[in-house]
Amino acid sequence: MNNKTFDTEARGQVGIGTLIVFIAMVLVAAIAAGVLINTAGLLQTQAEATGEETQEQVSDRLQIQSATGDVTDEEDGVEDIQITVTKSPGADDIDLTEVTYEIVTDNGVATDVIDDEEDVGTNDDLDVITSDTDDTVITDRGDRYQILLDSDQFPADEELEPGDTALVTLTTAAGASTVTELRVPDSLVERDAVSL
């Protein structure tokens, strides 16, 4: 039989080296896992914020109930437009003083913000029809407000003549837009107001 002697010191050194490599691998894996968990958390937060903003842009919009126009004394055009609005189903509260409007006609484009007076009674661009509160925020689907636009707010400050069309876009603070086309009837004879 061959008697072999074992070098216990060499065996111990190999074991310690393996242990050091193993610990280093565990540390690297732990650091990598921490980075991945941190990145995943950050991405989740960004995804939630993006989802909420996207939902607001889709749902936080105005719903137009009706639109009418006042005919001038000369019976040659529409000088004022009244647009009755409420909030769309699923929308959060909408502050009408943060809504922008855009009116596009053959004469050009006019864009502005709804009058920023907070009291509806002193607001030139807003009138309350039905609401539980006296402010300019639509909080309930039963709330009805009237947006008032006069000829000074039309493109080129001109009235809408018979047969004219106007494309009106109402955009809320969340970025949700509602677009409607208003068409003036061909005849305004003996009419004080018309449905657009």
pLDDT tens, N- to C-terminus, the chain (196 residues): 556 665 555 555 567 778 888 889 999 999 999 999 999 988 888 888 887 777 666 677 898 999 998 888 666 788 889 999 998 888 888 888 889 999 998 888 888 888 755 544 445 677 777 777 777 888 888 889 898 888 888 887 788 888 888 999 999 888 888 899 999 888 888 888 888 8
For residue 181, what pLDDT is reported? 92
Look at residue 2 in the predicted model and tell me its pLDDT: 58
Amino acid letter at 112? Answer: D
Domain ranges across the chain: 1-59, 60-195
Q: Among residues 75, 84, 94, 76, which one has the least CA distance to residue 182?
A: 84
Is pTM, for the whole model, over 0.75? no
**pLDDT for res 176:** 85
List the CATH code of the domain at 60-195: 2.60.40.10
pLDDT at 91: 83
